[in-house]
Structure 1
Amino acid sequence: MADAALTGFVEAIKGLLRTGAHSDLIVTCGGETFNLHKNIVAAHSEFFAKAVTFQVGKEAEDGEIELPEDELAIVKLMVQYFYEADYDPKFSNLEDRLADFCQRCGYENGKLCSDPDGVASHCLWGQRQCLNLISGDHQCGDACRAPKPWKKCINDVCAVSRTAADLITHAKVYVLADKYAASSLKDLAVDKFYHATLYWWDDANFAVAARCLLENTPDSDEYIREIIRTTLSDHMSILKKHEIAVLLGDYRDLAHDLLLERVSRGDWDRDGTSNEEGE
């Protein structure tokens, strides 16, 4: 009953966006008009909260807010989040996540993982133990090297990320959410970006997404930088790729922090020799 009530509530809010009923705010971007609601968007974004409270000049006269510098496709995802508390691509349910894990990692659904390194490469980001995805009774706890707030890893760390381009989508959503001070959208976007790196760390889109984040967020944004750095540290072989080498050359602080992290893990002995093989 409670689930049905919640579903009905969400559908009602989505309906306001779909129909434009009772709209009292117009937002334009890329030639498209969004008929929105001040109370809804202001609840999610400090920027919009101030904009609708202290309208001046043309915005006050026309009752419109223009976003001329932003990418329309990403603005649509932000608006979708305002009314649905999620944006595409969405996290799938557990059954879909399990099926996707088996497809990517080559394990039979319902069986205990037989290749810990395979799990680490695709799903658990540093965890070296098998995980029974069906029973859900295995937690990696402190063994997981993910940054806060993902210290405890359970089944749903293997959320579906359908294409490597999702990395760029989540990066752009994160940047837009930061620009418009939409903190809860930032939290969701960084979560989705993190999960996408679990699947697509070895794809060229990772370097593109990382550059987007590094260029458009302040140096004080440690969460997103820790994800980028730790992804590189967990998969040092991708440092051989041209796009990653260029990225590290352009962002020397990232290269420096990556080196310090590897040293802190004990990956080099005192004479500077790497203790790892195969990378």
Structure 2
Amino acid sequence: MNNPQCKEWLARLYRSGQYTDLTIICDGHTFNVHKSVICMQSSFFEKACKKNAFMEGETGVVDLPGDDPAAVKAMLESFYLSSYSYDPKHPQWSLHTKVAALADKYDIKPLRSLAQELLGKAKHEVPKHEVEFATAIQWTYENTASDDQIRRTLVQMAVDHLNHLLKNESFSNIVAQVPELGRDILVENQERTDMTRKMALISKYTYKCIHCDSGWALLHVEDRTQNCPRCDTSQLAQWDWMFIYQWDCSICGYIIGSSNDNETVAGDEWICPRCGGQGFKCSNKLIY
């Protein structure tokens, strides 16, 4: 809702608590809200409050058993304020993950996006609050589907601080208890390793041999020679090239990237642009 005046009215309506016509109960907590506000933003509540359809439509009372009261309060607050309150001095991973789960459960897409955004903003706080982070990630894996984006967000945060987290007993215990979490961390870590290797090749100085039409990645312009490692001619031009294969020099370990399907060429026929030696190990195909 982008109209400033409407936003102000909704905020006043929320804070005043007047004219409510719907009661939501959750684990002993009672929230009085307005059907016209809630039902317009959630298909779940719209259906629940229909007359002559469900009991809730007749009684004006909706019970949400099993949901977290703090997350329900945040959800209802967002209907009026387009956000929800939380303590910014402390990371609220558990609150944000539970709010995101409620947003999925009750079909509130803007709230899902907001919770995901707020969750990501706390990523730098992980090393300071490992126990709270471990609690949030355990709850998420116990209460969400395997393809839930919140899982991926938390796993990415975990991998960002993996060396630190693995020294924490609470986090290590949860990884041991939740096999899916351990698997997802391994997959994310491997994907980052692969990407780092690929980007290392892409970021090198790239050349195309005008003579044999091969493309190569060379690490430094001041290398011993800028001759083509395949045909040893100097007819090179700088080029923006996509690399398919990776080769390691058997002598100095220098890595080069090949743009064409030269994996069948004998390694001893190639000349290392770094040391001038001949002899390359078998190529590894890169995945792009």
TMscore range, shorter length: 0.5 to 0.7
Aligned to 1:170: 96
Aligned to 1:261: 188
Aligned to 2:154: 228
CA 1:219–1:9 in 2, change beyond 3 Å: closer, same or farther?
same
Task: Tell me which protein shows more strand as a share of its residues.
Answer: 2
Verify the 8 A CA contact 2:126 2:161 in the aligned structure 1: no
Distance 1:23 1:253 in 2: 44
Aligned to 2:140: 213
Distance 2:182 2:67 in 1: 30
Structure 1 residue 201 displacement after superposition: 4.4
Alignment of 1:47 onto 2:47: no
Aligned to 1:14: 11
Structure 1 residue 57 displacement after superposition: 5.3
SS in 2 for 1:50: helix
AA partner of residue 80 (structure 1): E
Distance 1:253 1:195 in 2: 24
Verify the 8 A CA contact 2:94 2:135 in the aligned structure 1: yes
Largest Rg, 1 or 2: 2
Aligned to 1:124: none
AA partner of residue 244 (structure 1): F
Verify the 8 A CA contact 2:93 2:133 in the aligned structure 1: yes
Distance 2:167 2:179 in 1: 16
AA partner of residue 152 (structure 2): E
Distance 2:193 2:64 in 1: 48
Aligned to 2:21: 24
Structure 1 residue 205 displacement after superposition: 0.5
Structure 1 residue 218 displacement after superposition: 0.9
Alignment RMSD (CA, Å): 2.8
Matches within 5 A, 1:77-88: 77-88=74-85
| Stretches (4+) displaced over 6 A | none
Taking structure 2 as the reference length, the TM-score comes to: 0.59
Distance 2:155 2:166 in 1: 11
Aligned to 2:179: 252
Structure 2: any 5+ residue segments left out of the alignment? 198-288
CA 1:48–1:199 in 2, change beyond 3 Å: closer, same or farther?
same
| Residues matched between the structures, number | 194
Aligned to 2:124: 198
AA partner of residue 45 (structure 2): F
